């Protein structure tokens, strides 16, 4: 028997052209493509594509562009000439510049392995997009995400396994000596096992695909009419696979197998009786373990060496079952741990499809009326456009987003979320997907608002008392001036009284203006990344003349390295810095030195104002930022209070240290703009 048997059957389902191949080879190659998770095709000796199994991009896109389809037809026509004779496997590049593994077979046809990309760096993806456009396919940029990432080394290994498999396995049928035939069959089984072993990892493992390839391999290697692989894993998992002819009778056996398992019985115990009733000439091999039973079988085997092939495959299936059980235990334990995490976690693959999510994430999505399902595209969940774009950006470029905030839902019932999104990286640094971590901070935000409301109410009471006190004095003076104005008729003295009245009214206006500034805190949307060094430079220019007039040495020290931007309001910071420097100037009435310096401080930036003025007594230091507290004649006592409030609104902190006779140091610590350094900007 040759690869393309003299007894050819037309296979329509799954073919891209009206070509013919043997059903046995068709099933085998289909199983092979499913196991390896790449496209496996057969090119005829005259350069036509006979069939393409697991047709992923770019092969699945050929119908969308006539120019792309024409380029690939020309590419397939060249394969028989370019790749030489049997066994000379090669890696060539298709019209898009993607690698394709080619294995010439002894009948002049060629097996091709494609539909993958060897690396996903920006340069490679840009090149792919440009070639797609040049061939008339305006892709949305996600085509490469649908391709498997496979290194050229792994491709060569697969080609070598297939070369040995086709050379030994399919030629074993024409081997005349019994010893030689058995050796070739076992060698072919070993190569198939190597392919299976390469899939025994969490990313690729699929027990159904392994059993499917086992059944297809048994049909090919033994030249059998059909084969089956039935597995039962206690207490619930049942997998049945049939290949080749006699499908109806084998399907009846599969149903009997599943029925016995459903009754709680070991189906292998009654399987021989079911085979006898089926009328099939079936040679089987039973594999038993503590938690599983498996039967492999071939219909009407033509030679006595079948037992060796069945036993060899049985060992591989037993290993696969143990791996499956191990993965199941790991998933169960991981699931318990995963679901015990308070934060919501959603993981997606490189194509943007949801791989897994925990209960907390499901609850968050359900609360917002969004669907979340494994296997569905995350971008179609209707969750949050900002997060969806961040996920796409992380999958494409490997960037990450930290300490982000989002408010979702109706305005009268907002859900406040804190979220982080990072890429999942393989060992080679390529992006395998993304992981999103969500934290529902709605209650803490509401609690914070309540605290701020109480603080504002408490401050309003305190300010109102101080305001009444501050306004009472100028009002009394103004009233006295008006009464004297009525009594005195001297114009000069009247003008003097009107001047005092104007001064007192100006003082009341100043108090009220400052109070209004205190009562209108900044809104969150006014905060933005600020270059703090540039703000300090502008401040120094403004104060240079005033410092010179007051015989004050103004020193500004900026670090050599560039500091990260801080979160703040440029106008608010200038107001704070001016208040602090003016206080310092007033504390150095006879001249002195004011040093302004910048430094990094953990996740923030510190701005220090250090003077050598009179200092602040300890009994006053604790009240220095309270509204209307002042020791200066004519002062309102609101400057530092307002400054402290502005800094708090920016998420920062103001610290004041002082010793009488030695000077005062005011330190402003502001948070850096977290998440903007590594996060790619949204378009």
Q: Which tokens go with 449?
A: 């608002």
Question: Measuring CA to CA, how many Å separate 107 from each of 3, 4, 5, 21, 474?
Answer: 7, 8, 10, 12, 110
Residues 287 and 217 in one domain: yes
CA dist 11 and 300 (Å) reads 23
Q: How far is 549 from 585, CA to CA, in rounded Å?
A: 11
**Collapsed DSSP state (helix, strand, coil) of residue 256:** helix
Q: Are 346 and 391 in contact (CB under 8 A)?
A: no
- Cα-based distances in Å from 510 to 218, 359, 479, 624: 95, 57, 18, 20
**pLDDT recorded at residue 285:** 83
**Per-position DSSP letters for 513-557, written without gaps between them:** HHHHHHHSPPPGGG-EEE-HHHHHHHHHHHHHHHHHHTTEEEEEE
Which range of residues forms the domain containing residue 77? 1-170
Collapsing DSSP states into helix, strand and coil, what is residue 61? helix
- Mean pLDDT per 10-residue section of the chain, whose length is 683 residues: 29 32 75 86 90 87 87 91 75 92 86 86 78 79 72 87 75 60 72 74 74 84 82 77 84 87 80 80 81 83 74 82 70 69 86 84 85 82 85 84 82 83 79 88 80 65 63 71 78 80 75 60 61 87 80 88 83 83 85 90 83 82 63 57 79 86 89 46 26
Report pLDDT for 595: 93
Q: Are residues 226 and 363 in the same domain?
A: no
Place of tokens 């790991």: 330
106, 25: one domain: yes
Give the domain CATH number at 351: 3.30.450.20
Same domain? 328 vs 345: no
Which position has the token pair 């318990």? Answer: 336
The residues pairing with 418 across neighbouring beta strands, listed in sequence order, are 405, 439
Contact in structure between 557 and 598 (CB atoms under 8 Å): yes
Same structural domain for residues 85 and 157? yes
User: In the structure encoding, which two tokens stand for residue 161, read together?
Assistant: 């396994």
pLDDT the model gives residue 3: 30
- Alpha carbons 322 and 231: distance in angstroms, whole number: 12
Residue whose token pair is 């049939």: 242
d(CA 596, CA 666): 10
Separation in Å, CA 314 to CA 79, 251, 269, 285, 296: 37, 21, 17, 7, 7
Residue 400 lies in a domain: yes
**CA nearest to 552, candidates 562, 563, 560, 540:** 540
Sheet with 39-43, edge to edge strand ranges: 49-53, 39-43, 110-114, 99-104, 90-93
Q: Does the predicted model carry a pTM greater than 0.75?
A: no
Cα dist from 53 to 4, 78, 212, 538, 608, whole Å: 17, 20, 14, 68, 69
Helix (H) or strand (E) holding 600: strand 592-601
- Tell whether 473 is covered by a domain: no
Strand 282-288, strand 653-659: pairing: unpaired
Determine the pLDDT at residue 102. Answer: 93
Q: Are residues 310 and 257 in the same domain?
A: yes
Those residues whose C-beta lies under 8 Å from the C-beta of residue 607, and which sit 6 or more positions away, are 532, 536, 577, 596, 597, 598, 667, 668, 669, 670
Whole-Å CA distances, 668 to 292, 563, 645: 68, 15, 12
Mark whether 301 and 346 lie in a shared domain. no
In eight-state DSSP terms, residue 10 is: B
- Contact in structure between 675 and 404 (CB atoms under 8 Å): yes
Q: Residue 611 and residue 633: Cα distance in Å, rounded?
A: 21
Contact between residue 68 and residue 62 where contact means Cβ atoms under 8 Å apart: yes
- Do 279 and 382 lie in one domain? The reply is no
Per-residue confidence (pLDDT) for residue 467, from 0 to 100? 64
Closest CA to 417 of 453, 367, 470, 358: 367
The verdict on residue 446 lying in a domain is no
Rg of the chain's alpha carbons, rounded to an integer? 40
Q: What is the pLDDT of residue 265?
A: 78
Task: Report the CATH number that the domain containing residue 295 is assigned in CATH.
Answer: 3.30.450
DSSP symbol at 678: T
Instruction: Give residue 99's pLDDT.
Output: 93
Per DSSP bridges, beta strands 592-601 and 116-117 are unpaired
If we measure between CA atoms, which residue out of 129, 139, 135, 116 comes closest to residue 54?
Answer: 116
Same structural domain, 9 and 105: yes
| Same domain, residue pair 554 and 666 | yes
Could you say which of 318, 335, 352 is where a domain stops? 335
Q: Check residue 298 and give its pLDDT.
A: 87
pLDDT, one tens digit per residue, over 552-584 is 899 999 888 888 888 887 877 887 888 888 888
**Among positive and negative, which fits the CA dihedral 14, 15, 18, 21?**
negative
Q: Is 425 found in the same domain as 326?
A: no
Fill in the DSSP letter of residue 199: T
Q: Residue 323's closest CA among 210, 212, 200?
A: 200
Domain CATH for 618? 3.30.565.10
Is residue 411 in a domain?
Answer: yes
Q: Which of 208, 204, 185 is nearest to 31 (CA)?
A: 208
C-beta of residue 438 within 8 angstroms of C-beta of residue 350: no
Which of 308, 335, 362 is the C-terminal boundary of a domain? 335
Residues facing residue 436 across a β-bridge: 346, 421
The answer to whether position 44 is within a domain reads yes
**Domain boundary at 312, 335, 358, which?**
335
Give the β-pairing of 604-611 and 663-671.
Answer: antiparallel
Q: In what side-by-side order are the strands of the sheet with 415-425?
A: 354-357, 344-349, 431-440, 415-425, 401-408
Distance, in Å, from the CA atom of 575 to the CA atom of 539, rounded to the nearest integer, reads 10
CB 598 within 8 A of CB 668: no
Task: Please tell me whether residues 278 and 377 are part of one structural domain.
Answer: no
Residue with tokens 């114009």: 491
pLDDT at 145: 67
Rounded to 5, what percent of the chain is helix, strand, coil? 50, 20, 30
The answer to whether residue 513 is domain-embedded is: no
pLDDT of residue 681: 28
SS3 for 538? helix
What pLDDT digit, counting tens, does each position of 149-195 carry? 788 888 898 888 888 877 766 565 555 566 666 676 777 777 777 77
Other beta carbons less than 10 A from residue 539's beta carbon = 20
Q: Is residue 486 part of a domain?
A: no
Q: Where are the beta strands (DSSP E) in 81-172?
A: 90-93, 99-104, 110-114, 116-117, 148-149
Residues 6+ apart with CB under 8 A from 457: none
The single residue listed with the structure tokens 């072919």 is: 188
pLDDT at 617: 80
- Quick check: is 500 in a domain? no
Cα-flanking dihedrals φ and ψ of residue 350, to 5°? -65, -20
Q: Domain count of the chain?
A: 4
């Amino acid at each position: 028997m040759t690869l393309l048997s003299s007894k050819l059957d037309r296979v329509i389902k799954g073919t891209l052209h009206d070509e013919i191949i043997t059903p046995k080879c068709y099933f085998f190659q289909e199983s092979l493509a499913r196991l390896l998770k790449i496209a496996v095709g057969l090119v005829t000796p005259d350069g036509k594509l006979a069939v393409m199994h697991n047709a992923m991009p770019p092969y699945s896109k050929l119908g969308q562009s006539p120019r792309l389809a024409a380029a690939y037809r020309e590419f397939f026509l060249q394969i028989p000439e370019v790749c030489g004779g049997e066994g000379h496997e090669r890696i060539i590049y298709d019209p898009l510049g993607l690698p394709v593994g080619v294995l010439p077979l002894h009948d002049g046809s060629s097996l091709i392995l494609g539909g993958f990309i060897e690396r996903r760096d920006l340069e490679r993806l840009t090149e792919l997009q440009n070639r797609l456009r040049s061939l008339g396919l305006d892709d949305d940029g996600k085509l490469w995400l649908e391709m498997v990432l496979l290194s050229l080394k792994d491709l060569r290994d697969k080609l070598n396994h297939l070369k040995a498999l086709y050379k030994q396995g399919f030629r074993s049928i024409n081997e005349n000596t019994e010893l030689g035939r058995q050796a070739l069959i076992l060698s072919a089984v070993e190569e198939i096992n190597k392919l299976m072993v390469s899939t025994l990892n969490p990313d690729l493992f699929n027990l159904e695909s392994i059993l499917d390839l086992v059944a297809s391999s048994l049909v090919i290697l033994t030249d059998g009419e059909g084969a089956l692989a039935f597995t039962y894993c206690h207490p619930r998992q049942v997998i049945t696979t049939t290949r080749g002819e006699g499908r109806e009778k084998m399907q009846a056996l599969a149903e009997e197998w599943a029925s016995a398992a459903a009754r709680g019985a070991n189906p292998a115990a009654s399987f021989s009786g079911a085979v006898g009733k089926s009328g099939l000439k079936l040679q089987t091999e039973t594999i038993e373990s503590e938690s599983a039973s498996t039967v492999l079988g071939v219909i009407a085997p033509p030679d006595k060496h079948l037992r060796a092939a069945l036993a060899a495959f049985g060992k591989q299936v037993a290993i696969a079952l143990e791996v499956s059980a191990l993965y199941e235990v790991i998933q169960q334990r991981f699931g318990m741990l995963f679901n015990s995490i308070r934060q919501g976690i959603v993981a997606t693959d490189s194509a943007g499809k949801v791989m897994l999510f925990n209960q907390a994430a499901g609850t968050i999505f359900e609360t917002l009326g969004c669907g979340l399902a494994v296997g569905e595209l995350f971008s179609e969940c209707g969750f949050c456009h900002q997060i969806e774009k961040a996920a796409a950006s992380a999958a494409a470029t490997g960037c990450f987003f930290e300490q982000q905030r989002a408010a979702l839902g109706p305005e009268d019932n907002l859900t406040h979320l804190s979220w982080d999104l990072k890429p999942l990286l393989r060992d080679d640094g390529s992006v395998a997907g993304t992981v999103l971590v969500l934290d529902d901070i709605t209650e803490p935000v509401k609690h914070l608002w309540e605290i701020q409301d109480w603080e504002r109410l408490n401050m309003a009471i305190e300010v109102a008392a101080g305001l009444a006190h501050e306004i009472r004095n100028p009002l009394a003076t103004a009233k006295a001036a008006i009464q004297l104005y009525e009594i005195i008729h001297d114009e000069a003295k009247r003008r003097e009284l009107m001047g005092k009245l104007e001064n007192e009214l100006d003082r009341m206006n100043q108090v009220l203006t400052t109070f209004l500034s205190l009562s209108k805190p900044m809104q969150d949307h006014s905060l933005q990344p600020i270059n703090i060094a540039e703000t300090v430079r502008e401040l120094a220019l403004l104060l240079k003349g005033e410092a010179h007039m007051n015989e004050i040495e103004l020193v500004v020290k900026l670090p050599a390295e560039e500091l990260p931007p801080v979160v703040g309001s440029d106008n608010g910071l200038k107001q704070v810095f001016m208040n602090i420097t003016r206080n310092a100037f007033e504390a150095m009435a006879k001249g002195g030195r004011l040093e302004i310096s910048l430094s990094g401080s953990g996740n923030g930036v510190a701005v220090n104002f250090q003077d050598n003025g009179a200092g602040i007594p300890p009994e006053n230091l604790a009240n220095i930022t309270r509204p209307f507290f002042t020791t200066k004649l004519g002062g309102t006592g609101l400057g530092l209070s307002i400054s402290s409030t502005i800094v708090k609104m920016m998420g920062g902190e103001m610290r004041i240290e002082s010793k009488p006779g030695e000077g005062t140091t005011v330190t402003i610590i502001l948070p850096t703009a977290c998440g903007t350094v590594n996060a790619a900007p949204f378009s």
